[in-house]
Amino acid sequence: MAPPPPLVAPMKATSNGSFQGENPLDFALPLLILQIVLVVVFTRTLAFLLRPLRQPRVIAEVIGGILLGPSALGRSQKFLHTVFPAKAMTVLDTVANIGLLFFLFLVGLELDIRAIRRTGKKSLGIAVAGITLPFVLGVFTSFALRATVSKGVSQGPFLVFIGVALSITAFPVLARILAELKLLTTDVGRIAMSAAAVNDVAAWILLALAIALTGTNTSPLVSVWVLLSGAGFVGFCIFALRPLLAMMARRSPDGEPVKELYICITLSLVLAASFVTDVIGIHALFGAFVVGIIVPKDGPFAGVLIEKLEDLVSGLFLPLYFVSSGLKTNVATISGGQSWALLLLVIFTATFGKIVGTVSLSMACKVPFREALALGFLMNTKGLVELIVLNIGKDRKVLNDQTFAIFVLMALFTTFITTPLVVAIYKPARRGAPYKHRSVFRKNPDTELRMLACFHSTRNIPTMINLIESSRGTRKRGRLTVYAMHLMELSERSSAISMVHKARHNGLPFWNKKTNENNKDQMVIAFEAYEQLSSVKVRPMTAISSLNDIHEDICASAHQKNAAMILLPFHKHQRLDGTMESLGNALRSVNERVLKHAPCSVGILVDRGLGGTAQVSASDVSYNIVVAFFGGRDDREALAYGMRLVEHPGIVMTLIRFVAPEGKTLRFGAKLVGITSDNNKKILEEEDCGRGDDKEDDESLLAEYMNVRKNSGNKEGGGEPSMLYEEKVVDSKAEICVVLKSMAKNVNLFIVGRMPPTAPLVDSSSDCAELGPVGSFLASSDFSSTASVMVLQQYNPTASQPLVVEEADCEAPDTPIT
């Protein structure tokens, strides 16, 4: 007898096109493409909108899934039947679960079992308390749910599913929150990560138990066989697959590409293991997770696997799982006082259990209360693993629609509140010892100059190194020590977490003398090579943080290293046609925040190829530099830095002093803006520009320059003097522009103060106003295509808003370098 025809005809893969009269959305592939594009665009837009709240991307993806489902947009049957028709759900769920398999493989790669074994009693105890109390409370909550909205479900599996859902901590989401808050490598972060890793493994074991207890066959013997088979599978992976993976890892040495065959074998093992665990009956996800755990974490093998998978899996496929979950979530099922009361009960039980369990044991382990409370909220983080538990429970008919919706909203709420509450409760103060030399301008210029040079990409490095070479003070000035800091934006990638672990210590970027050569940031190798060829001490470091608060790393590191100057790249770079192109407003904001909070002087370098696109050796340095002097503390800093540069035998410096005609000032009737000690802006009156003490300090430094010029020799290899002086009387800002432009052709570097007491040389609509009235003109595209510009702001203790709390009895964090 022929089999009965299927109720719903299967979808064909591809269409013949709309010109053939076919609707592409009636075919699986074009519909899947539309679904992926819609989901990615929608969730990324939500992630962008939630970024000011510092929420992890998983929050946007969960909310996006719910909004696309029957709770919001899916209430329109036309939308639901067009974009997410029932006949296409099998394809969508299959692709989403394949993405989920590989994502859980990535989660396993992030988990290091050796680190879990080394977990101290404190972290282990906190993890156990953070699981036990919520699980016990979940048992009591399950009775309330079974008596109301979940009548008739099997008690055993329901109890375990509820307990796991309340006690779980999302390890990947927690890692990203800690990295975002710069807590990943602090004591609180280390305890939270260790406890979350233990929690994660325990949750998967409990979930395996819960799955084993469910199914159509209710015989206890079946559950026992499932558990025993699962344990046997884990043993096979450890004793048979791990040696194979270890062999491939050993044959993938540092510095060489990993063989494509090894990648293919490993990914095939992930799929094969998933098939085996699905056959056993403990879900395909377990196989992928176990293979990820047993992959050796030493060497580049695990890192290459992460790099190969993370963007495709996390960017395209994983959001489909959130939509697949969101299509099952109907918030409208939570209606009436009883349902909302149960939602509040579940949220209270989950939060209370995690926080009380974690805080009580933390304080018993002598963890301070604020840190213990922060740990409690951090351990309450839910995420993808929570949704996996809930979806498995719903697929196994353990959770109905209403219970499922209640627990999805609980997971969303508890994760959403984590970041703002931790920020409010626990913001560790950065403390440091006060130090003396915070600017280039100082009474004794023969003391050591420490500089923190920051760079975003390789394009900044040649000019940075050439400027450092010029700054080393080869004759009289004190020696130069440079801390080269690579600024990297923290991303949502799995690899970002391992990078943060390598690049930070106790919440701050650090330089480690014992760093493995193969783990180094490739961009700092240029600085290390320069150090080998010069007398300059160069110390590389990497700062990985979000651009919204990377300035904290810069300022705290400058204070920690007793830096006298922070050197920042300008947020624009020069194109081949000579125009300046912006790299984004976010980089400009970083510079503005550093100017506001810096514990020392700040220099912003507008790079137009100082010395060309390659590093210049000391013997080949031949630069003409100009210091434009109008007066004031920033100009004195510019002149002091110029006097250091001219110590180099290959540099000729010209000091141009701009003077107004008698009875006038350089402001030329413009209203100048000053900054008060509380960082408020105020209009400077005419008499304020007389500058009193400022004028005396200006004349004193100018006299010192003239004295040094008188006693200085000529440029090396020629009769040209190395220090020149010109005084220009100007009657308008147009005349200042003419003077500066006339010198641009033969000058390699202009050095100016950020806020001299003169009228702005460009209109107020300039997008580089942070460079001040003169610097913004020099940085404009129509000024020059060859002359680089250095804009300096001298440290001002009355205007700066320090991020580091100075304590006289605090041990100095940095010692002189030998």
Note the pLDDT tens digit of each residue in 230-247: 999 999 999 999 999 999
Give the CA angle between residues 318, 323, 326 to the nearest 5°.
135
Q: Give the model confidence (pLDDT) of 644-663 as tens digits.
A: 888 888 888 899 998 888 77
Which residue has better confidence, 792 or 515? 792
Cα separation, 520 vs 177, in Å, equals 25
Residue that is written with structure tokens 């496929």 in the block? 317
Give the phi and the psi of residue 453 in degrees, each rounded to 5. Answer: -100, 120
Q: What percent of the chain stands above pLDDT 90?
A: 25
Cα diameter, the chain: 112
Residue 98: per-residue pLDDT: 94
Q: Give the model confidence (pLDDT) of 522-542 as tens digits.
A: 566 777 777 766 777 888 888
Residue 817: per-residue pLDDT: 38
- Token duo for residue 203: 């949750």
Shortest CA distance to 423 belongs to which of 594, 543, 549?
549
DSSP state for residue 42 in the 8-state scheme: H
pLDDT tier at 497, thresholds 50, 70, 90: low
Q: How far is CA 235 from the centre of its chain?
A: 38
Cα separation, 428 vs 560, in Å, equals 16
Q: Do the strands 723-729 and 651-659 form a parallel or antiparallel pair, or are they unpaired?
A: parallel
Q: Give the model confidence (pLDDT) of 139-191 as tens digits.
A: 899 999 988 888 888 888 888 889 888 888 888 888 888 887 878 777 788 88
Count CB atoms within 10 A of the CB of residue 813.
18
The yes-or-no verdict on residue 517 having pLDDT over 50 is no
* Cβ atoms 807, 433 nearer than 8 A: yes
Cα separation, 144 vs 150, in Å, equals 9
Q: Give the model confidence (pLDDT) of 624-649 as tens digits.
A: 899 999 988 899 999 999 988 888 88
Q: If you average pLDDT over each of 41-50, 440-449, 754-763, which comes out highest?
A: 41-50
Residue 273: per-residue pLDDT: 96
Tell me the three-class secondary structure of 93-135, residue by residue: HHHHHHHHHHHHHHHHHHCCHHHHHCCCHHHHHHHHHHHHHHH
Shortest CA distance to 380 belongs to which of 347, 341, 424?
347
Reading phi first (left if > 0) and then psi (alpha if -120 to 50, else beta), residue 760 is in beta
Tell me the three-class secondary structure of 302-335, residue by residue: HHHHHHHHHHHHHHHHHHHHHHHHHCCCCHHHCC
Residue 419: per-residue pLDDT: 87
Residue 677: per-residue pLDDT: 36
E-strand spans in 490-574? 504-505, 508-509, 537-545, 565-569, 572-574
Which residue has better confidence, 578 or 690? 578
pLDDT tier at 507, thresholds 50, 70, 90: low
- For residue 804, the surrounding DSSP H or E stretch is strand 804-806
Give the phi and the psi of residue 401 in degrees, each rounded to 5. Answer: -60, -45
Tell me the three-class secondary structure of 593-660, residue by residue: HHHHHCCCEEEEEECCCCCCCCCCCHHHCCEEEEEEECCCHHHHHHHHHHHHHCCCCCEEEEEEEEEC
The yes-or-no verdict on residue 30 having pLDDT over 90 is yes
Give the CA angle between residues 518, 522, 525 to the nearest 5°.
95
